[in-house]
């Protein structure tokens, strides 16, 4: 029984290594420095969006110099929704 447990433990460890190796092979080449993206939702009719927009702008804008891309999803009306959809 002890030999059976040992064999099963070895098989379990071996399969975990094999599955991890297969996972790494399926990932395409990724850049060393991934692109950081921030999506900001806003709407003129939303008081929470307006308050968070000011606070977000003050906190996140310094990171644009470090490569952060900021996209705005404006949900104010149908025209701004369509424009935001094209940008996103």
Which pLDDT tens digit goes with each residue over 52-85?
Answer: 877 887 888 888 888 888 888 888 888 988 888 8
Integer Rg of the chain from CA:
24
Which pLDDT tens digit goes with each residue over 25-43?
Answer: 555 665 666 677 888 888 8
pTM over 0.95? The answer is no
Query: Alpha-carbon distance 17 to 35, whole Å?
Result: 30
Contact 60, 70 (CB under 8 A): yes
Backbone angles phi, psi at 70, to 5 degrees: -115, 130
Which sign, positive or negative, has the C-alpha torsion 5, 9, 14, 19?
positive
């Amino acid at each position: 029984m002890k030999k059976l447990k040992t064999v099963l433990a070895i098989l379990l460890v071996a399969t975990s290594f094999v599955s991890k190796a297969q996972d790494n092979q399926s990932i395409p080449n990724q850049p060393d420095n991934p692109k950081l993206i921030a999506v900001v939702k806003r709407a003129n009719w939303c008081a929470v969006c307006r308050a968070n927009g000011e606070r977000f702008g003050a906190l996140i804008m310094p990171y644009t110099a470090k490569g952060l891309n900021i996209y705005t999803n404006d949900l104010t009306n149908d025209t701004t929704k369509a424009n935001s959809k094209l940008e996103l």
